[in-house]
Amino acid sequence: MHDDVVITGIGALTPVGNDRESSWEAMVEGRSGVGPITAFDPAGMSTRIAAEVKSFRPSDHFDAKRAKRISRFTAFAVVAAREAVADAKLNIDDDNRDRVAVVVNAAVAGFDTIEAATRQLVAGEEPSAYFVPYSLTNMPSCEVAIDLGVHGPVNANALACTSGLYALMDARRLILSGEADVVICGGTDAGVTPSFMNGLSTMGALSRRNDDPGAASRPFDVDREGFVLGEGAVIMVLESAEHARRRGATAYAAVSGAALTCDAFHVSHPLPTGEYATAAIRSALQRAAVAPDDIDYVCAHGTSTKANDATETKALRAALGAALDRIPVSSPKSTVGHLLGGAGALNAMVCALAIRDGVVPPTINLNSPDPECDLDHVPNVARRVPVRTAMANAFGFGGQNCVAVFTAPDPL
């Protein structure tokens, strides 16, 4: 059945809120989380803005030793996972801990930790003995497992900007294969560092609208010039519908189907035809047993770059056909920036909460729609509309295309 795996808990740390509900409220209201960089002095850089998580101190969440050692992207994941588990009212004990898995993906991983250690070495100082393990891509998954005391399968994948959405696809497989009853999954990243941002800026990927940060992320607008780097984590609790039913849980949505394809074209540019993004959309719909006419909302990847937004539009047109003319398509990156490894998981959260609340968040800063992106992008103001079926897109460097379909859950 298409509702065989359901979302029962969600936790989030984003540039517009330090939990799920405050983040959702800000996105629905169209409040931007973009501002001048505070993590370091960006003087002299061509891009001096980012979407940072605000007022986050590891010492508020961990003991002194752990707070000092833990990488920012891992700390985000652990805190969001705690919220997700509490939201799901999931009690982890000796009876079930071997049947709980963790899949937390990242793209940048511990870039900040490596960068700090490199600066220490250049200055003739001794870096932390823990900088190597704390910089690894699997560390958020492992730290979540340690924090919650679970012993089921624990893994991590790096799929660039598709990482967070693919975590849900991987989690669904673990549940359907019988390897786990529950999977704590999602994406995290914290890439607001001097070298990472300089690298993206040199590629021409970032917006340079430094004097107007709130208007810098403008997906599908004719004046878009690049994405805004963000940071944060979104973590979810997925479980089989039967398991959720037995324990009396409440479901946000069902993860009804997902697909992954590759352009095999270029390390950073999408295939201009959108052929394999189209294939991912079609495969996800087929696996979810959903037709284009069933879709009520598309949460777009919508990065605010020239190539991505135009290619995504082509792929949606090719896959959804005439049905697309009535489907709202919005991009949360207009408010939170691009969370990289966390971006796809955030899109999944938006789909789940749109189904719960019957509201579609807007694409802000959409003042002059690009004729090449001729869709209903819900400009600037949220829209009340029943959502029973939603689709999330995530596309990444290397040509990776991940699409997932979410449906209103059957009563548990």
140 sits in which H/E element: helix 139-148
Check if the beta carbon of residue 103 is closer than 8 Å to that of residue 174.
yes
161: annotated active-site residue: yes
- Cα separations in angstroms, 205 against 196, 197, 219, 306: 12, 10, 13, 10
Name residues whose C-beta falls within 8 Å of residue 169's C-beta, 6 or more positions apart in sequence. Answer: 258, 259, 260, 402, 404
301: annotated active-site residue: yes
Structure token pair of residue 72: 């920012």
Q: Which of 299, 301, 351, 402 is catalytic?
A: 301
Of 56, 266, 278, nearest in space to 160 by CA:
266
Check if the beta carbon of residue 334 is closer than 8 Å to that of residue 34.
no
Distance CA 221, CA 17 (A): 25
Check if the beta carbon of residue 162 is closer than 8 Å to that of residue 15.
no
- Distance between alpha carbon 55 and the CA centroid of its chain, in Å? 20
Q: Dump strand ranges (E) for 229-330.
A: 231-240, 253-262, 297-299, 329-330
Q: Which of 185, 243, 338, 402 is catalytic?
A: 338
Q: What angle do CA 266, 278, 258 make, to 5 degrees?
A: 100
Count of CA atoms in the C-beta half-sphere (13 A) of 279 = 12
CA dihedral 77, 41, 225, 235 (to 10 degrees): 0
| Residues designated as active site | 161, 301, 338
